[in-house]
Amino acid sequence: MASALAPPPVPHPSLSRNLQSGFSTPLLIHSLQESKSSVLSLAATDDYIFSGSQNRDILVWDKKTFTHKDTLRGHTGSVLALEYAREKAWLFSSGADSTIRVWCTKTLTALYVVDPYLENGAGDLFSLAWSPTLQTIFVGCKNTSLQWFNFRHTISPTGSSSSLQDTLISGCTSPNLAGLRKAHKFFDSYPQHERKPADIHARNGSAHQGRDSPDSDQCSDVPVPQAFFSIPASNVIDPAHWGYIHCMAIIDDENGVRLATGSGDEYVKLWNCSGQVPSLIHEFYCGQGAILSLVSRGETIAAGCQDGYVKVLDLETKTSVRTIIVQEGVDILSLSIFNGDLYTCSANGCVKRWSASFDCTASWKAHDGIALSSIITKRNGHGVCLVTGGSDSNIKVWEVTAAKNKQEPPVKDVYTGQPALDDPITETLIYALSKFVAIPSVSSQPAHKEDCRQAAIWLKKCLAQLGAQATLLPTGEGNNPIVFGTFEGTKGEKPRPRILFYGHYDIIPAPPEGWSSDPFTLTGRNGYLYGRGVTDDKGPITAVACAAADLLARRALGVDLVFLIEGEEEVGSVGFGETVRRHKDVIGHIDEILVSNSTWIAEDRPCLTYGLRGVVHCNLIISNKMPDLHSGIEGGAIVEPMVDMVKLLATLTDRHGHIQIPSFYDKVRAPTEEEEELYKLLSEVTQKSASLLRSRWREPSLTMHNIEISGPKNPTVIPSTVKAQISLRIVPDQDLDTIVHSLVDYLKTTFDEFGTPNKLQIDVEHTADWWLGELDDPYFKALENAVKEEWGVEPLRIREGGSIPSVPWLEKEFKCHALHLPMGQSSDQAHLPNERISLVNLQKGKAVVENFLLAIANEKFASGAS
């Protein structure tokens, strides 16, 4: 049983389940070893595997025999990128020597050398991407420029000059090869003793002593390219990023040619390449360190980041739909994808396989050093394989099995022990909730202060993995932070409706007495999930977040869903208002507020809450200047503070329970006929009298909570200090400030009339205003219809006697209305032992939110979208 002294460990933040088994690791087919050089890049044809090394060579490996076939030499720096153009049978290579080289993959001969604009000034050429449609090679440079070079279809795979026609290169018209290029400082050089500058007519392949020439032991094998070209200044975007362009991915399909570029500036940029110059379509800010690797599949791009995260980006909706935490702090240097499975290669040498639902289905140590590169390629004969290269000089060839053929062990739910649900989002919901509940984020106990902070950190990462941009907003020293996250909807011509979802990740204490299971272990029994916070408010938060993630995955999120999840709700929302007001510009315009932090009135009829009472919590302290005394000695000789307290409390209500504060009831709103009809209906449903419901929901009340005394608390002591706690519940249209002043004035005036020598101290500890929803609000109608659509019955309109301080405050601050969707049932035991929530309610609550968001996106009735 968890306790404040020994809290359970904070769960790992990843929402990706570990579905590994002893048979899930791919079979190692073969190992190829470089000559003590890191394998920085890989490419493959049907016959060969090409490996670009740190020692400047490109090694060619035969796929049939796994033997070293040849070595392609010419680069004078590390070979950083390889790109295969299948229809041309060309291999492009680029490196630290600021050159792009083109090789024939049939004859393994050198074809061309392309110098970037500014030559060495471009720096290392980190990445390449080839478009078959455009016949263009794109180059990502260290100097932050994006460059490209266009080859026409008139160049044959062997590069024969006889195939050149008038239009060879964009911007060049002469068919004369010599006139199309500049002199190359190595291949067109003269012997050094002649002291002559390079000349395109020299063609001196044996002149090995030129500046920046390869080492003498390699030069005899260096092939002479048939042509040398330079990228013109018109084919440059500088800067394309504010950091090195580490990686690129081409999307060449029926929608045109698009290019994705990833950089050290933490952005992935999407470019439309159908015109003469690539035009920027969209920028994805990943916020997880430099983008080191990219891979595309259809309209989805995965971006491997510097700190161990993979961002999954949807190109159609231009949103980030998921984040995978591979291993925090360990760079993701290469990505490969096959048949829905994503393979991640990390700086710790590990390779992991992730399913389409982003669960880890395999993890293995592939290299003793850093896993630097990877590709998916066909095996010789049949099937496919994953090829990885590492800093340990090894190239590993792994058997890859299609996802549909994988024999993975059945996954069992944490709540029933039965096979997991087929819906991956539902599985994610339960799995995430199990981790959320495991953190004892008790805001009222200092011993759990760090647990609250860890809960905020975990929730921020959870939202980010589900597709939101998330961060923490500090609420002041000693207070728990707010988790702020935004699920951005599909980009369109018109502004999207913006919905703010409010909730709280803090919980009340969970003493073990009365619990049938560990309150911080999500436990399923008979269709219910048990654990502290499952219904108040961690379950609803998780359901709404998964609803947004589901819509993102379906490219159907047509609104912006903004999360504001605080960590002080159970102790008065300390610092919440000031923090939100300070960050209003970042939060942005809000059209409507959604809350899910209450329960139904019964067990089997869905409800919508449209009213909450306000509250005034007050501490009263009556004391004298004497110490605690013995009643047998001083009894009757002094005016006792306890007697004054009892007398004072007795004046607050009459014998019928009416509150005696002057003018207290003057502003209470009278019930309407429609409201009375509603109470009759609710009385039939609940089998409780309408007067009882009215007294709980729409009539003010006063409660005396406790009396505390100083001293040893035995029956012979007269306490010198007596403290009482009282609260008022207020309703529409009582003014909160007026009620507070009236209460304080009444207590002071009444106490003064006692003529007692004792002193009275009044502390108004906490206040919250009442809230009443707008039943004619189109958003309310949309939510009501969404509930009816999912449950097949009209939801009951109910009110609650409790208070949520932040709801009316948010309404006033953002000048919009709030909606309250309860997901729990009346028997959910919120704040009590064995707190629970129905699994069906959680699933349907998520579905209701999805239907609601779809409806308001389609209607476009929000002020921001009109």
Q: Which two tokens stand for residue 802?
A: 């409790």
What mean pLDDT comes out for the span 146-158?
A: 68
Confidence bin at 633 (pLDDT 50/70/90): confident
**Sheet strands side by side (includes 256-263):** 245-253, 256-263, 267-272, 279-285
In three-state secondary structure terms, 98 is: coil
**Residue matched to tokens 């395999």:** 362
The length of the chain in residues reads 866
What mean pLDDT comes out for the span 140-168?
A: 63
Cβ within 8 Å of residue 619, ≥6 positions away:
723, 724, 725, 762, 763, 765
What mean pLDDT comes out for the span 672-701?
A: 90
Distance CA 852, CA 781 (A): 10
Residue 549's identity, in one-letter code, is A
Distance CA 470, CA 314 (A): 18
Pair (492, 574) in one structural domain: yes
**What angle, rounded to 10 degrees, do the helices at 538-553 and 839-859 form?**
50
Cβ within 8 Å of residue 722, ≥6 positions away:
621, 622, 623, 641, 642, 644, 645, 707, 708, 709, 710
**Residue matched to tokens 């013109």:** 232
Strand 125-131 versus strand 109-115 pairing type: unpaired
Pair (741, 832) in one structural domain: no
DSSP annotation of 542? H
Q: What pLDDT score does 189 carry?
A: 66
Q: How much of the chain exceeds pLDDT 90, in percent?
A: 71
Q: Do residues 224 and 203 touch, judged by C-beta distance below 8 A?
A: yes
Confidence bin at 172 (pLDDT 50/70/90): very low
Please calculate the CA angle 389-57-192 and round it to the nearest 5 degrees: 160
Residue 227 in domain: yes
> pLDDT for 763-810, tens place per residue?
999 899 999 999 999 999 999 999 999 999 999 999 999 899 999 999
**Residue matched to tokens 């309209």:** 299
Distance CA 325, CA 756 (A): 66
> pLDDT for 443-474, tens place per residue?
999 999 999 999 999 999 999 999 999 999 99
Pair (653, 510) in one structural domain: no
Residue 563 has pLDDT above 60, yes or no: yes
Pair (713, 824) in one structural domain: no
Q: Which two tokens stand for residue 320?
A: 């980030």
Burial of 805 (0-12, 13-18, 19+ CB in 10 A): buried
In three-state secondary structure terms, 731 is: coil
> Of 188, 266, 488, 569, which is the active-site residue?
569
What's the CATH code of the domain at 209?
A: 2.40.128.630
Pair (232, 184) in one structural domain: yes
> Of 115, 392, 506, 800, which is the active-site residue?
506
Residue 315 in domain: no
Alpha carbon of 502 to those of 201, 467, 580, 588, 816: distances in Å?
74, 18, 12, 15, 14
What mean pLDDT comes out for the span 588-595?
A: 97
What's the CATH code of the domain at 750?
A: 3.30.70.360
Pair (52, 152) in one structural domain: yes
569 is catalytic: yes
Alpha carbon of 154 to those of 150, 157, 161, 162, 227: distances in Å?
12, 10, 10, 10, 14
Q: Which two tokens stand for residue 612?
A: 């909450």
Pair (717, 779) in one structural domain: no
Tally of structural domains, the chain: 3
In three-state secondary structure terms, 99 is: coil
Pair (488, 622) in one structural domain: no
What does the mean pLDDT of the chain come to? 88
790 is catalytic: no
Q: Of 198, 222, 238, which residue constitutes the final position of a domain?
A: 238
Pair (535, 601) in one structural domain: yes
Distance CA 582, CA 602 (A): 40
Q: For residues 277-291, b (16+ Cβ closer than 10 Å) or e, as one string? A: ebeebbebebbbbbb
Q: Of 200, 223, 238, which residue constitutes the final position of a domain?
A: 238
Pair (828, 800) in one structural domain: yes
Q: Which two tokens stand for residue 736?
A: 């909160």
- In angstroms, how far is CA 792 from the centroid of its own chain? 33
Residue 322 in domain: no
Cα-based torsion angle of the residue sequence 171, 176, 177, 183 in order, rounded to the nearest 10 degrees: -90
Residue 535 in domain: yes
* Residue 817, φ and ψ in degrees, nearest 5: -95, 160
How does DSSP assign 597-648, residue by residue?
A: --B-SSSSS-EEEEEE-EEEEEEEEEE-SS--EEHHHHTTTS--HHHHHHHH
Q: What pLDDT score does 227 carry?
A: 86
Burial of 750 (0-12, 13-18, 19+ CB in 10 A): middle
What's the CATH code of the domain at 819?
A: 3.40.630.10
Pair (720, 827) in one structural domain: no
Residue 341 has pLDDT above 70, yes or no: yes
Peptide bond into 481 cis (omega under 30): no
Q: How much of the chain exceeds pLDDT 70, in percent?
A: 86
Residue 569 in domain: yes
Distance CA 744, CA 618 (A): 9
Q: Do residues 259 and 306 touch, judged by C-beta distance below 8 A?
A: no
CA atoms within 13 A on the CB side of 317: 24
* Nearest of 580, 595, 588, 585 to residue 481 by alpha carbon: 580
**Residue matched to tokens 């159908």:** 274
What mean pLDDT comes out for the span 683-689?
A: 89
Distance CA 222, CA 230 (A): 20
Distance CA 744, CA 763 (A): 9
* Residue 325, φ and ψ in degrees, nearest 5: -90, 105
Distance CA 76, CA 93 (A): 12
CA distance between the termini of the chain: 54
Q: Do residues 494 and 576 touch, judged by C-beta distance below 8 A?
A: no
Helix (H), strand (E) at residue 111: strand 109-115
Pair (707, 781) in one structural domain: no
Residue 475's identity, in one-letter code, is T
* Residue 851, φ and ψ in degrees, nearest 5: -65, -40
Residue 166 has pLDDT above 60, yes or no: no
Distance CA 784, CA 4 (A): 41
Alpha carbon of 91 to those of 66, 319, 519, 688: distances in Å?
19, 33, 60, 79
In three-state secondary structure terms, 750 is: helix
Q: What pLDDT score does 865 carry?
A: 43
Distance CA 845, CA 120 (A): 59
Confidence bin at 634 (pLDDT 50/70/90): confident
> pLDDT for 97-130, tens place per residue?
999 999 999 999 999 999 999 999 999 999 999 9
How does DSSP assign 209-251, residue by residue?
A: -STTPPPHHHHTTPPPPSEEEE--GGGEES-SSSS-EEEEEEE
In three-state secondary structure terms, 679 is: helix
Confidence bin at 186 (pLDDT 50/70/90): low
Q: Which two tokens stand for residue 97?
A: 């020597």
Residue 153 has pLDDT above 50, yes or no: no
Burial of 407 (0-12, 13-18, 19+ CB in 10 A): exposed
Confidence bin at 190 (pLDDT 50/70/90): low
What mean pLDDT comes out for the span 131-159?
A: 81
Residue 4 has pLDDT above 90, yes or no: no
Confidence bin at 181 (pLDDT 50/70/90): low
Say which range, 32-36, 46-50, 606-610, has the weakest mean pLDDT.
32-36
Confidence bin at 149 (pLDDT 50/70/90): very high
Residue 333 in domain: no
Confidence bin at 419 (pLDDT 50/70/90): very low
Q: What pLDDT score does 222 carry?
A: 66
Q: Do residues 290 and 267 touch, judged by C-beta distance below 8 A?
A: no
Q: Of 768, 799, 824, which residue constitutes the final position of a domain?
A: 768
Residue 270 in domain: no
Cβ within 8 Å of residue 696, ≥6 positions away:
801
What mean pLDDT comes out for the span 251-258?
A: 89
Helix (H), strand (E) at residue 696: helix 690-697
Alpha carbon of 814 to those of 489, 501, 810: distances in Å?
20, 13, 6
Distance CA 757, CA 224 (A): 108
Distance CA 842, CA 429 (A): 9
Residue 849 has pLDDT above 50, yes or no: yes
Domain of 572 in residue numbering reads as: 470-612+772-859
Q: Which two tokens stand for residue 331?
A: 């760079």
Residue 97 in domain: yes
Confidence bin at 374 (pLDDT 50/70/90): very high
What mean pLDDT comes out for the span 731-749?
A: 97
